[in-house]
Chain A
């Protein structure tokens, strides 16, 4: 166990260092001083209390949209519909928020959150049902549903729900300021961060510590085996898709209730797509999503200083994200390759038979 832990730590650390080295070489080629770039990244992401809050704020929606990919992934479903679920969640929550105008603020917030979760859940859940009962590939259907979601948003925002005074930027009417989701006391970060953290913990307990999660892991490992065990695989697929979509829908609600106060085209943020990257880098493990989302939030927060101080193009951080993604996934293949991390008895056996390691099989 200790050796395995050390192996994981060192391979991860090595992957991060290798990514930094590659990125340093890249920015040097682009004509910037790599050490200054790293200093600015540190300053922009964690260097001041403002930077830390900036990082946290950017990480919050990524935690929720990453869950949209991570939860169904335990069942072997590859859902990439976080963007659409977020948009639909935002649209549903503003509809609900406007409908319960005269209610107390806490009630409006709860109602908006429920509406966002329900709409996002139904949106991705429908793709899950198509997969379970009709064999429609969920990756394709969730991707295409993203475009439908954005088209629906445009339709409602520019048509039936349009605030007539929003002349050049079509928007819905706004919820009153007192109904907005507030900042966490003492921070300039809204409650969406807490939503994200709590959702990741709940997802962890559900997927790693519950009977449902155990069944999901079996079905995800081998669908037919799961069915032969008598697991209700179809129903589980739909539930996982609903839960994932609900998380992304909640991200949409936070965007509407904490940031904009209304729905408009600014709701199409790309968080849904970045969430896919976060989920993969966290290997679809809900708790690991938290640090990976913070890492991505930090990279995003430092983007501005790289542009403004080091005069690097905006795409620089996309390059860094790409390098991290490839290097970390590639580092997966290193497990079991270093003899030093192997349990002693196994090393003895292996040197005796000179066969391949169990991991390699």
Chain B
């Protein structure tokens, strides 16, 4: 029986190999038939007219994840409604060879001229490799990693100062909490995440100095079970407002609603998941950013109109707040709106002295301030006073 099966397996391998060889033969001959470079694009059955711009979006997770990827997908939907633009989207593309192949496929099979590979880990090496390979295609990456001294000229990078929105969320949380205990569920102790934790805490303490924020690091971007456990554990400790910085806040928001505590969202709006407890949330506003890029692209010289490295907060329209939930008081709304206005016109700086970390060490001297463009903020490696927890 055993040897019988083995023989079947060998025979099967021959059958499938034969079929594959046949397919590949067909493929090569087909490829030679349509050797013109534009033919690959038109093979999809809907050839792109000369003035139609095909824009590709690549996501590392599902585009309906209520989180990072959904925020980009919502931006892509805005782009898809622009005249003379066609979008192509691909979700769940891991940060491996797959990412490079998806970019190539969008360029050579879909005829895309502008690509938005949105995951942080797509940049190095994947975008760098492909941008060198396709000099007439523009690659724009979310993450702010572009370095003009060593990266290709047809690549660019953008990111938002979403800590401003976390600061405003913190104000709403600080005004809403009864126990003066807030919770923050974070993926990894990297600078971007620490900056959000600190901004959220500073916002809350600006309106309610008694507030503390308990932090739990789950260790990775998508850890649904640990995120649910962390939410429960925070609720058990008396925390009554949680927020997060993970790829998909879905589980945390749902669990918080189940436990009857409040929650502020991140990346996209999770309001539908927690109609009672959702206060507000820090959201990306990629639709506006992408519209600007596409308009610049249409002129034929994108980087004449946009810098290679573009960043922005409320003022530039990179971020927005979720609409206030039912539990937010009028007073809280007033204070949050005032802070948002001050962040927009630049009169409010989040990281300013005197500021100490949660071990008592002075970070910023009295009178000094770090504005959003300060490079020291990019290297943040501390938790501010009022945060309970330590960097693992």
**Which residues of A come within 8 Å of B, CB atoms?**
4-5, 8-9, 12-13, 42-52, 54, 57-58, 154, 158, 167-170, 208, 217, 221, 255, 259-261, 264-266, 269-270, 282-283, 285, 287-288, 290-292, 294-295, 298, 300-301, 303-305, 307-309, 313-314, 332, 335, 359
Dominant SS among interface residues on chain B: helix
Give the docked Cα–Cα distance between A295 and B106 (Å): 22
Q: Does B325 belong to the interface (CB within 8 Å)?
A: no
**A308 contacts B97, C-beta separation under 8 Å:** no
- B12 in contact with A12 (CB, 8 Å): yes
Q: Which residues of A contact B275 (CB under 8 A)?
A: none
The answer to whether A168 and B190 have CB atoms under 8 Å apart is: yes
A309 touches B16 (CB 8 A): no
Taken together as a complex, chains A and B put the C-alpha atoms of A69 and B63 apart, in Å, by 33
Determine the chain A residues whose CB is within 8 A of the CB of B98 once the complex forms: 58, 300
Q: Which of B20, B56, B219 is the most central at the interface, judged by chain A CB atoms within 10 Å of its CB?
A: B20
Tell whether B335 is near chain A: CB-to-CB under 8 Å.
Answer: no
Report the minimal beta-carbon distance from A187 to chain B, rounded to whole angstroms: 13
Interface size class on chain B is 35 or more
B40 proximity list for chain A (CB < 8 A): 48, 50
Which residues does chain A contribute within 8 Å of B90, judged by CB atoms? 303-304, 307-308, 314
How long is the Cα–Cα vector from A50 to B133 in the complex, in angstroms?
14
CB-based contact A43/B378 at 8 Å: no
Chain B residues within an 8 Å CB radius of A259: 96-97, 125
Which chain B residues lie closer than 8 Å to A309 at the CB level?
A: 44-45
Please, what's the 1-or-0 string for B65-102, where 1 marks a CB less than 8 Å from any CB in chain A? 00000000000000000000000111111111110011
Interface CB pairs A-B, < 8 A, 15: A46-B26, A48-B30, A49-B31, A167-B378, A168-B120, A255-B96, A287-B10, A291-B20, A292-B16, A294-B17, A295-B20, A304-B106, A308-B56, A308-B110, A309-B44
A282-B6 contact, Cβ under 8 Å, with A50-B105, A168-B143, A169-B121:
no
Query: Chain B residues with Cβ under 8 A from A208's Cβ?
Result: 6
* Residues of chain B from 207 to 250 with CB closer than 8 A to chain A in the complex: 219-220
Say what secondary structure dominates the interface of chain A. helix
What is the distance, in angstroms, from A197's C-beta to the closest C-beta of chain B? 12
Contact of B108 among A50, A57, A285, A335 (CB under 8 A): A50
Given contacts A54-B101, A269-B96, A283-B9, contact A308 B106 (CB under 8 A): yes
Determine the chain B residues whose CB is within 8 A of the CB of A58 once the complex forms.
Answer: 97-98, 101
Is A291's CB under 8 angstroms from B13's CB?
yes
Tell whether, in the assembled complex, residue A168 and residue B191 are in contact, meaning their CB atoms are under 8 Å apart: yes
